[in-house]
Chains A and B, each alone.
Chain A
Amino acid sequence: MNTFTLGLIAVFILILAVCVLWDIRKSGEFKFKWSHSLAGYLFMAPALVLIVLFVIQPIVLSLWYGFTDYYLLEPNNIHYIGLNNFSSLTKDLSGQGDFYHALKNTLYFMLFCVPLQIAVALGLALLVNKPRKGGGFFKVAFFSPVVMSLAVTSFLWLYMLRPDEKGLINGLLVKMGIPVQGFFTDPDQAMNLIILLSAWQGAGMQMIIFLAGLKNISRDLYEAAQLDGANRWKSFLNITMPGLKPITLFILITTFIAASRLMIQPMILTGYKEFTVTLSYLIYNEGYVFKMVGYASAIALLVTVLIGSMTLVQRYVLREVD
């Protein structure tokens, strides 16, 4: 293991020691007994074993693997190669290789899909929020794509958007006098279509969360505003929008993280292609298909830092607003 990983483990142990001392010091106040503690440990034990094995170990290992040339089929032949993986990634970035495309496509997807999906969800929530005849039907209709898994959604659209005149959508287009489209085989269309179908699939879920947020805004506020002569638009701007702020930020963070993980849709709809490869898909391809565990771990480390820091910034903003 390299010094960097060892250092991190040392920091980890130090934090553990400090926390344990803190607990022991504090425990005087609870008249703490060892039998009581032991019971606590026993309840914690199954989860702890699994967490160490399958959650912490992968994180620690990726910190180590990222600096090695680990090839999956040669687990006894791992060499520390310093920052070589990272320098090849920088080279890839400047030479517009796969990492460049994966990064670009992932950011593009996040930049367009997240606002689109949230805007659609908010619009739908506002539409169905008011009790109307048949409102239940519309709510179910807008929510219905959520019930399908990403794999099912992707296969469904793959068949509907066949790139020949046999496809459902192309058949309709031909009837309207529009030439047959390439859809997922067309580098200019594929990513935009993935954005559209992802927003279509996911918006219903955020609509439900927005509806819960709308329910929490007091009716009295709207009535008071109406008495003051505010119109619908003004009440929306001054009551609905501020009332939905915390929930919007929560939705923003969760949608943002989900978007950064995009993988199943390009996998099923286009396969491994320059114009739709994403960071998660690249990690999968390098680490699992090509078995270059070291290189894949280096990418994973960069992605973790990138997404993790973006999330932390958003959390910070969220706390400020709250």
Chain B
Amino acid sequence: MKGMTVNNKGFRLLFIYLFMSVLAVLFLFPTVWMLAASTKPDVLIYSETGKLSSFIPNITDGSVFLRNYAILLTDYKIWRFMLNSSFYSAFIVVGNIIVSSMAGYALAKFHFPGKTFLLGLIVFLIVVPIETTIIPLYTIVHRLGLTGTIFAVLIPPLVSVFNIFLFRQSFVSVPRELEEAAIMDGASKLQVYYHIILATSKPIIATIATLNFIGVWNDYIWPIMVLPAPSGNGDWPLYPIQAALNTLAQQPMIETGQIMAALTLATIPLIVVYALAQKYIVEGFSTAGIK
């Protein structure tokens, strides 16, 4: 009898592992193919169609292993788009954190006429879907004369009502005694904000910064709407990497392997962020879910 149950358990475990492996293959094979194809010239990619070797990186000709990446860097100057994306993300994330946390501080720790209204307004604005206001937003940015300049990408995302709300909820629980002690020591409100509020809220700052970075790095439509497409005449282009993927895919001479290399390059910073900040991402999403 005992042997039976052990066997049953073993069989069951084997089945679960088999099932999970099939699923893992389903979830991984496109990414594996992308990585493998990025190391191959198109002749090789298409000769391997339908064969298992299409999922294995270029082992037949190691000398061209990184050729696609080299072409992207030299011929298509993809590093410029990567730099653009890095600059946009850094600027917006830092700016958004400053603007949103200041507002969150005001709403959490100050009493001023209109506060009730502002809090209600912010909660209401969180619900309004952004996509439906994208055209009026475009007309505003257009009328301000910002279309075609990087300011169209940099300025509107500096505020996020959702981040203000998250900061406010977090700052409310910072003990009043801490603030009062600092004020007793002669600290100004600005010093309290910096040394007490921000210093005690590092996890929520990290969470919001990470989610904000992912959102900005992945933004595709807005940059395409407000920035000029790369001209190809040697000028420094304004597109971030995501938008540039669209331009790259339209190049007449570009190979599939090179597109796959570009997709890989566009994803590497995200892999780094997810790996380094996974704790904050999981926390951010799961606390949002439980509350």
Query: Footprint of B on A, CB under 8 Å?
Result: 15-16, 19-20, 22-24, 27, 30, 32, 36-41, 43-44, 46-48, 50-51, 53-59, 61-62, 65, 70, 72, 75, 124, 127-128, 132, 134, 137-138, 141-142, 144-152, 155-157, 159-160, 165-168, 171-172, 174-175, 200, 204-205, 208-209, 211-213, 216, 246-247, 250-251, 257, 260-261, 263-264, 267-268, 280, 283-284, 287-288, 293, 296-297, 300-301, 303-304, 307-308, 311-312
Contact = CB atoms under 8 A, between A and B. Distances in A.
Contact of B34 (A47, A156, A167, A247): A156
Contacts of A145: 27, 30-31
Contacts, number: 271
B286 A208 contact: yes
A47 B270 contact: no
A303 B134 CA distance: 13
A44 B107 contact: yes
Interface string B141-168: 0110000000000011011010010000
B111 A47 contact: no
A157 B259 CA distance: 12
Contacts of B112: 23, 32, 36-38, 40-41, 44
B271 interface: yes
Interface string B123-139: 00101110111111111
Contact of A247 (B127, B259, B289): B289
B218 interface: yes
Contacts of A172: 50
Interface stretch (B2-10, B63-71, B74-82, B241-249): B241-249
Contact of A293 (B33, B116, B139): B139
Contacts of A15: 117
Given A75-B143, A308-B129, A311-B127, A213 B290 contact: yes
B96 to A, nearest CB: 10
B94 interface: no
Given A72-B139, A246-B290, A148 B111 contact: no
Contacts of B106: 40-41, 43-44
Interface stretch (B198-206, B228-236, B260-268): B260-268
A36 B109 CA distance: 10
A23 B193 contact: no
B140 A19 contact: no
A16 B156 contact: no
Contact of B136 (A62, A127, A267): A62
A19 B218 CA distance: 38
B134 A283 contact: yes
B135 A297 contact: yes
